[in-house]
Amino acid sequence: MTSPQKKTIFSGIQPSGTLHIGNYLGAIKQWVRLAADNTGYFCIVDEHAITVPYEPKDMPERILNLAATYLAAGINPDQSIVFVQSHVAAHTELAWLLMTTTPFGELARMTQFKDKSKQLSKKNKAGLPAIASAESGATAGLFGYPVLMAADILLYQTRIVPVGEDQVQHIELARDIAQRFNNRFGEVFTIPEAKINNNTARIMSLSDPTKKMSKSDNTKSYIALTDSPDEIKIKIMSAVTETDPVFSFTKSGPAVKNLLTIYQAFSDEEPSAIEAKFNGKGYKEFKEALAQLVINQLSPLQQEYKKLRQSDDELRIMLGRGKHHAEQFANTTLRDVKEKMGLL
Ligand code: AMP
Ligand code: TRP
């Protein structure tokens, strides 16, 4: 499937809840663009999702929902490889092998681990269920999470990893892991690069523009890809703004800048054209226009999603094909790694 001019792109999202427009604009929209003339691997990273407490009976549905979202957003499974991480055993196997070459101290520096383990220990103290010790709340799986992510990326000789800003530190680590392996055991891995879309790398919360938009926040702070037109309108109309209505990508406060960024990302219009359009207008008019834009842009995705969710079987067949393709490539890399490491 790989031709010399094509680059390999790899990315993934965890099936751990509703996707929001931050995920769409920060990650998936870039995937679709890049997948058009490269070889794309788009993974549903279920083994990452189980590193924090979760409900097993909800997981199959979440995996299928996420697969349908990838396709509805424009990933073409005849051109790209769409698959589930746990279907390709090479991911966890390579993760273990790489675990033995990764210093503990490098993992201890990962900010996502620090944030998530803090959140978990807070929940533990509040008496909510968690698997691990009440002391830390975090499992060894959560600690090793970035090594599994490195394995995901390195198995496919990936060049480009399109993600939002919060994942850049993990990709830096994957590069270090790959370089260290190549130096110690001989050249196996391509060194990957993170690709973030500067404009949309960090879409902020609608209720607090100092925090990134996140599904773990209150529902008014984010727009889910599955929100109805009414919900979208209510959320945008009640988004916080600064006191004076100034519509400028450089001079507006953080709340309005975030809304302008969302407008720009969905409309693909030039920032100066957007500034001119709303110059002298009030917030109500701007927000109404933004709400309508988001509703219109999400509508085809939502319709396609509904269609795809009518049949589990078709999605499962598509994922079966993805597994088959991914496995072939992944197993070749894994064999090479084991040989270089001296395993018989
Ligand atoms: P998550 O749902 O946190 O696993 O994120 C899935 C993908 O969406 C990753 O590439 C993230 O970097 C990206 N992402 C998550 N939240 C945002 C946000 N608020 N703005 C931009 N990208 C985001
Ligand atoms: N850790 C990523 C996130 O939370 C998801 C992920 C797992 C990923 N493996 C990956 C992203 C490999 C890019 C490449 O968003």
CA distance 120 to 287: 36
In whole numbers, what is the pLDDT of the chain averaged over residues? 93
202-254, pLDDT tens digit by residue?
999 999 999 999 988 899 999 999 999 999 999 999 999 998 889 999 999 99
For ligand 1, what atom is nearest to the CA of residue 215? 2
User: What is the structure's pLDDT at 125?
Assistant: 61
Token couple for 93 = 């196997």
Question: Buried b / exposed e across 216-228, counting CB within 10 Å, b at 16+?
Answer: ebeeebbbbbbbe
Sign of CA dihedral 130, 168, 202, 26: negative
DSSP states of 118-154: HHHHHHHHTT---SS-TTT---HHHHHHHHHHHHHHH
146-187, pLDDT tens digit by residue?
999 999 999 999 999 999 899 999 999 999 999 999 999 999
Residue 139 has pLDDT above 50, yes or no: yes
In the DSSP assignment, the letter for residue 27 is: I
User: What is the structure's pLDDT at 4?
Assistant: 56
CA distance 100 to 90: 16
Helix (H, G, I), strand (E, B) or coil at 277: helix
142 CA from centroid of ligand 2 (Å):
13
Residue 301 has pLDDT above 80, yes or no: yes
For ligand 1, what atom is nearest to the CA of residue 14? 4
| Best residue among 159, 170, 215 to mutate for probing ligand 2, ranked by most atoms within 8 Å of CB | 170
Q: Do 8-201+311-340 and 219-306 agree at the fold level?
A: no
For the domain made up of 8-201+311-340, give the CATH fold: Rossmann fold (3.40.50)
Radius of gyration over every alpha carbon of the chain, rounded to an integer in angstroms: 21
Structural domain boundaries in the chain:
8-201+311-340, 219-306
11 CA from centroid of ligand 2 (Å):
6
Ligand 1 binding pocket includes 338 (Cβ within 6 Å)? no
Token couple for 329 = 């490539």
User: What is the structure's pLDDT at 1?
Assistant: 52
Please name the residue ranges forming H helices in the chain: 21-23, 29-35, 46-49, 59-72, 90-99, 104-108, 111-125, 140-154, 168-185, 229-237, 254-267, 271-278, 283-308, 312-340
For the domain made up of 219-306, give the CATH fold: Tyrosyl-Transfer RNA Synthetase (1.10.240)
pTM for the model: 0.93
Residue 133 has pLDDT above 50, yes or no: no
| Closest ligand by atom to 211 CA | 1
Mean pLDDT (whole number) for 6-20:
95
Question: Buried b / exposed e across 195-212, counting CB within 10 Å, b at 16+?
Answer: bbbeebbbbbbbbebeeb
State CA 92 to chain mean position distance: 19
pLDDT confidence bin for 17, thresholds 50/70/90: confident
**Cα distances (angstroms) measured from residue 165 to each of 33, 200, 330:** 18, 9, 26
162 CA from centroid of ligand 2 (Å):
10
